[in-house]
Amino acid sequence: MTDMTPEDRLRDEIDGSAKELLSLTQTLVRTPSTNPPGDVSAVALAAADQIRQLIPESNISMFETGPGITNVVAVIRSGRRGKRLVFSGHLDTYPIGQPGGWTLPPFSGELSSDGKYVYGRGVSDMKGGVAASVIAGRALARCKNDWSGDVVIALAGDEETMGTLGTAHLLTHVPDVGEADAMICGDAGSPLIVRTGEKGLLWLEVEASGKPAHGAHVHRGSNAIDRLMAALSKLKSLEELQVAAPREVEEAIQAAKPVSEELGGAGEAGVLGRVTVNIGTISGGTSTNLVAESASASLDIRLPMGVSTSTVIGEIGVMLDTADGIRYRVVRAYEPSWTPPEEEIARHGLAVTRLMVSEDAVVNMRVGASDARLFRAAGIPSVVIGLTPHNMGGPDEHVEVAELVQVAHIHALTAYRFLQA
């Protein structure tokens, strides 16, 4: 019988930890951490306790960056010089919405009757992914004679509200995170797709003012809603901006389309390659028979690679700076980000995914945001490889139990190849 390779040993460790992986996922789901209100202190303690039990040789630190916002960092050191790989995750989740919409209690962590699915708020975004990373870290800790450097598990307490007190803080103030050589994140996605980039974002608030009058005497007033509608029509034209994306990004999006749109929906490839403008909220006026004195709207503008926030802000200024009765402000903005597929962490991630899941696995952009953008902004090559979400953000959120094991395999083997190269 031939000797087992290091990768064989890692795979055996993951397979042998399947029960612990499911149990850890359920423990995290059963500890509520919805944002808002954003209090993750209980789940942070639970995560730290579980890591302490599963990886006793890890060095665990906790960082409270705001009321109820606690970040957990666990470091596994090989004892040899080498690179540093971070498994990044977040502990906060969406709110549960209307409890009556759930057929299973939202914090139950219950299994389906056939045992194939595990349910609960945040199981896909991203407590299941966190559990997979922890079990991958455990496997690496048990095989640490086979690699060099450090493995860091960084669990942020603030992601759903853009990560200022979570990953952004850790990157700035915790060297074991901020001085990483690469990052793997298990945020919601698919084991079939290695996400190496994501769109940028610009949130905009627009206010319109007018002159009130009776609705029968419109000639005496100026309608703020009319002004707002005109401004919004101009802003929707941002979707027609020309995009000069890097060729490798365009090629990756098109090559991934047959696989990615099966999961992300028809039209995803087009959305990844253009500016989108979503009018999220709108309000105005006080009565049907009055000319509106004020109106407002908020917009979520997403930017593809090849379009900067400064370009979009400049276009907004041209459209609105001289418009009568219109004021606006940028609430939040960040740039699109991309880790080239030839980067070592991306190459290993794709090769391992093709080995463990399917030869059809692809590299692609990500429509939604993740903390990977913060690592990329800090110059750290990053990939997102996570669980396929079912009903993410809605009632009866769930994931496949088998995918938990798949993602743990992918994280462990990708990290190993990166650290032993």
SS3 369: coil
Same domain, 46 and 174: yes
Which amino acid is located at 115 in the chain? G
Q: Is residue 231 part of a domain?
A: yes
Sign of CA dihedral 34, 36, 38, 42: negative
CATH number, domain with residue 213? 3.30.70.360
Q: Output the pTM of the full model.
A: 0.94
139-150 pLDDT, tens digit each? 999 999 999 999
Residue 93 lies in a domain: yes
Q: What is the pLDDT of residue 160?
A: 66
Residue 252 and residue 177 share a domain: no
Burial of 22 per CB tally in 10 Å (0-12, 13-18, 19+)? buried
Which of 28-53 are b and which e, b meaning 16 or more Cβ less than 10 Å from the residue's Cβ? bbbbbbbbeebbbbebbebbbebbee
Query: Token pair 């005109």 is at which residue?
Result: 230
Number of residues assigned to the chain: 421
Would 48 be classed as within a structural domain? yes
Are the C-beta atoms of residues 152 and 74 closer than 8 Å to each other?
yes
Do 113 and 24 fall within a single domain? Answer: yes
Domain around 305 = 200-258+265-334
Total domains in the fold of the chain: 2
Chosen domain end from 314, 334, 354: 334
Does residue 1 belong to any structural domain of this protein? no
Burial of 296 (C-beta count, 10 Å sphere; 0-12/13-18/19+): middle
Work out whether strand 193-198 and strand 362-366 pair parallel, antiparallel, or are unpaired.
parallel
Rounded-to-integer distance, Cα 182 and Cα 375, Å: 8
Same domain, 11 and 144: yes
Average model confidence (pLDDT) across the chain: 96
Please tell me whether residues 191 and 276 are part of one structural domain.
no
The answer to whether residues 293 and 410 belong to one domain is: no
Q: In the listed set 275, 301, 334, which residue is the last one of a domain according to the structure?
A: 334
- Expressed in percent and rounded to 5, the helix, strand and coil fractions of the chain are 40, 25, 35
Do 359 and 297 reside in the same domain of the chain?
Answer: no
Q: How many CB atoms lie within 10 A of CB 111?
A: 16
DSSP state letter for 93: B
Q: Is residue 282 part of a domain?
A: yes
| CB of 91 closer than 8 Å to CB of 51 | no
Q: What is the pLDDT of residue 2?
A: 57
Percentage of the chain surpassing pLDDT 70?
Answer: 99
* Structure-token pair, residue 255: 């090559």
Let me know whether 128 and 244 are in one domain.
no
395, 406: one domain = yes
pLDDT (tens digit per residue) in 304-361: 999 999 999 999 999 999 999 999 999 999 999 999 999 999 999 999 999 999 999 9
Residue 407 lies in a domain: yes
Domain shared by 23 and 160, yes or no: yes
Domain-terminating residue out of 296, 319, 334: 334
Q: Can you tell me the mean pLDDT for 111-130?
A: 97
Claim to verify: residue 134 and residue 238 sit in the same structural domain: no
Nearest to residue 364, comparing CAs of 198, 152, 175, 188?
198
Tokens encoding 189: 């996605």
Looking at residues 62-84, what average pLDDT do you find? 97
Task: Tell me what the mean pLDDT of segment 227-244 comes to.
Answer: 97
The domain spanning residue 401 has which CATH number?
A: 3.40.630.10
368 with 269, same domain: the answer is no
